Structure formats: structure tokens, C-alpha cells
Copies of this chain bind each other. A is one copy, B any other.
Amino acid sequence: MADPANTPLERPSVIAAHALIKEYIHYTPVLTNTTLNDLASTPQSASSLAGTPWAGQEPAKPKIRFWFKCENFQKVGAFKVRGAFHALKRLMAEEAWEEISARGVVTHSSGGFALILLFPLVNLSSNRNHAQALALAARTMGVPAHIVMPTISTPSKIAATKGYGATVIFSGSTSTEREAVVEGIIKQTGARLIPPYDHPNIMLGQGTLGLELQEQVLQMNGGSKGPDAIIAPCGGGGMLSGVALSCEGTGIQVFGAEPEFEGADDCKRGLESGKRIETVKTLTIADGLRTPVGAYPWTVIHDRKLVRQMFSVTEEQIKAALRLVLERMKMVVEPSAVVGLATALFNEDFRRIVEKEAGDRGWDLGIVVSGGNVSVEALGKMFEVSPAKAERQEGTVGNDGEKVAENVAG
């Protein structure tokens, strides 16, 4: 690709990116939900604030109308295709067709796979979202794709990536080992590296969802108004920074959300200290957000202050938000996709901002639902009932219970 420094990181570039990719991606729906609006617009109880930093304080009284941008319904199940298609289209505009189709592109399934030693049942598929997205984009354009995956990847994941027509190359599971294999492929084939988030063209591509969200809220509000604010999850920060660019100059406030577990809130901590945190070790269930924020996203989020504030949520808050989306919205999403919702429902600092700035009028709040790649086994593991709990549940059954109730017609 061209020197990234040559790509202007500004709203018109996001609009140009959208024009380049829109024929290849889904214009995903924006959904609303009255139950969740009511929940968010009801003050938290004093008891639910016990044990939090806001214990004993007066609960905030925000008024929130949610607009969920559903990238779980995107191709490959996540927003990642936007960046992959955009990076590839830009590459094709720049190089001769013969060169690209001979050399191909390369990326790796970054991080996380080795964690299955500890959590054998947790699906780490969101870490593969970029790899599969690139494989799909490359197949669509007729460009060879090389995907470097750890040898410990599960057979189904290897099969899925191959299913998109990519060549899978195995590596060890550390980043050093992965990068060595990627380097080898580049030397051997001349393939161009398409990184998962730390590149302007990826950021601009991911940011296109922000444009659509603005357009859709305005339309669904009958043309009267767009969103007041948007919250997006932050892992490597490519999507958050792209969304921030899509809102530049519009007056829409952009916030980022992260898990706080084991320091996964690196972007928040980095903003607080004024210095980007480059390494993160966390096993948060929001497995798409285990990555530290990248250098290019940081320039947008920190240096140019296009993200107003970062918030973090606990694992329990992520699970509570996930349950609400699954059970109330009847929609399958991955844990990473609900950190924005969890912030709006449970983070009193955020809720006070809404109360204070919007008052009775309330906010139209865009929530980026980033993806839906989670296996039923992983969901089951997250919400499994412990044997002790199951027994208590059974204990509520009275003596009048029969083993099999007879169902009689009529």
C-alpha cells in the first residue's frame, strides 16, 4: 500500500472509502428496543451500585434512546470486512493487476489462540474476524490470500478460513513466531501485509459504519435529527478511530468502551496517563478486545482528541448486557459487541454525562454492535449454571411436581 502517511485521516476519506466498498458489504440494519431504552432510562438501584465506585451516591437519571448498528449481521459476522475490502480496493487502485494477483496479500490471526489451554471452551473467533474478512475480500477480487494461523487453531477454524479460498500457513502461537512466518511469506511471494487495525485504510474502512449509522438514525427519526452520541468498542482501536473520523465536524460525541478485566482498558489508561500502552495481557471474555490500541488509531483518539472519553466495564456487566441482547433483542452477538451497551446501562460516569448534558430531552445514542461470531458452546460456557445453583433451583420445586406432566388436548 502507499505510505500510510499519505492517506488523509478525515471525514471525506471515510466517505470516499464508503463509495469504494459499499457494493461489497451489507448495509446492516439499525435496530431499536423499547425494553432496553426503558432500562437505560431508569436509575440504577442503590443495591446494584453497592460494591461499585459509585456506592452510596445518588444514581444518575439519564434519558437514553438506543440505536443499535448491527454489524453482527455483516458479512463474515463482523465489521472487519469493511476495512479488509477498503485496504484491498486501495491496493488495487495503486498497483498493476499483474503484480497484485501474482503477489497476493497476507495477514495473521493475531493472538489469543494459545488461550484455549486455559479456556478450552471459549471461542476466540473474533480474533479471526480480520483474517476471514481479508480472505473473503481477496477471493471476491480474485487476489490470492495467505493467512498465518497458529498450529493450535481448531480444525473447524482452519476449515472456515480455507473455505474462503485462502492459503493457510501455520506458525507458533507467540507474536514473534507469527511475525517471522509472515516475514517469510512476504519475502517468498512479495505478498502485501494487510494488518488488522493499525493502518489508515483499515481505519477509514471500519469508519464507514459510522456514516451509515448517522444516515439511518436521521432517516428513522423522520429526518428530524441524527444521533447525539455514539459509543464503540475499542480493541486495536481501528474501528473506534474510524467512527470518530466519520463524526468529525458533525457535533456527534464519540465515546469508546473497553473491558476493565486484567488491564484490557489500555486505551482508557493510556488517555489518562497521556501515553499509549503497547502491551496487554488479559483473558477478558470480550476476546475481540484483548489487543492494545494501535499507533495510528492512537493519533486520532489521543493526539487529535476525536474520542471524547473512554469507559470501562466489568466482566459481569458485559455478561448482563449480553444476556439482555440475546434474551430481549433475540439477537446473537459476541461479548465484545456489548461493551458500549454495558457502559450506557451500568457506568454511572457515562450516565451522569447524559443526564447533565441532555436533561429531559435525552440522547439518541448510537451503539456499535461490532460482531456476532460466537459459538453456541462458548455462550453455554458463559452462562452455565453451576451444580450448586442448579440444586437450589430444583429446591424450589414443591412436592406436588410430577415427573412427566400429561398434556391433554383441548
Contacts and interface: CB of A to CB of B under 8 A. Distances in A.
Given A120-B394, A381-B380, A383-B380, A152 B407 contact: no
A373 B331 CA distance: 12
A198 B403 CA distance: 26
A174 B405 contact: yes
B408 A327 contact: no
Interface stretch (A96-104, A201-209, A274-282): A274-282
Counting contact residues on chain A (CB < 8 A from B), the size range is 35 or more
Interface in A18-58: none
A311 to B, nearest CB: 20
Given A330-B372, A376-B383, A397-B152, A404 B115 contact: yes
Interface stretch (A141-149, A217-225, A247-255, A286-294): A286-294
B409 A293 contact: yes
A112 to B, nearest CB: 6
B323 A283 contact: no
Nearest to A404: B281
B295 A404 contact: no
Nearest to A151: B398
Contact of A382 (B152, B173, B380): B380
A396 interface: yes
A175 B405 contact: yes
Nearest to A329: B332
A281 B77 CA distance: 40
Given A152-B397, A379-B379, A403 B291 contact: no
Contacts of A327: 332, 374-376
Given A174-B402, A409-B292, A116 B397 contact: yes
Contacts of A283: 404
A410 B198 contact: yes
Interface in A87-130: 110-118, 120-121
A377 B382 CA distance: 9
A342 to B, nearest CB: 15
Given A175-B407, A292-B407, A393-B154, A377 B372 contact: no
- Find the residue from A120, A172, A276, A383 having the highest chain B CB count within 10 A: A120
Nearest to A332: B330
B291 A407 contact: yes
B121 A385 contact: yes
Contacts of A397: 116-117, 120, 152
A95 B89 CA distance: 67
A175 B111 CA distance: 56
B331 A405 contact: no
A406 interface: yes
Contacts of A159: none
Contacts of A372: 330
Nearest to A124: B405
Contacts of A354: none
A400 interface: yes
Question: Across chains A and B, which 7 residue pairs bring their CB atoms closest together, nearest first?
Answer: A380-B380, A330-B372, A376-B383, A292-B409, A330-B332, A111-B407, A114-B405
Given A114-B404, A381-B384, 5 more contacts: A116-B397, A117-B401, A152-B397, A293-B409, A379-B380
14 contacts: A111-B407, A114-B404, A117-B397, A121-B390, A154-B393, A154-B396, A173-B405, A198-B409, A281-B406, A281-B407, A282-B407, A330-B332, A379-B380, A379-B383
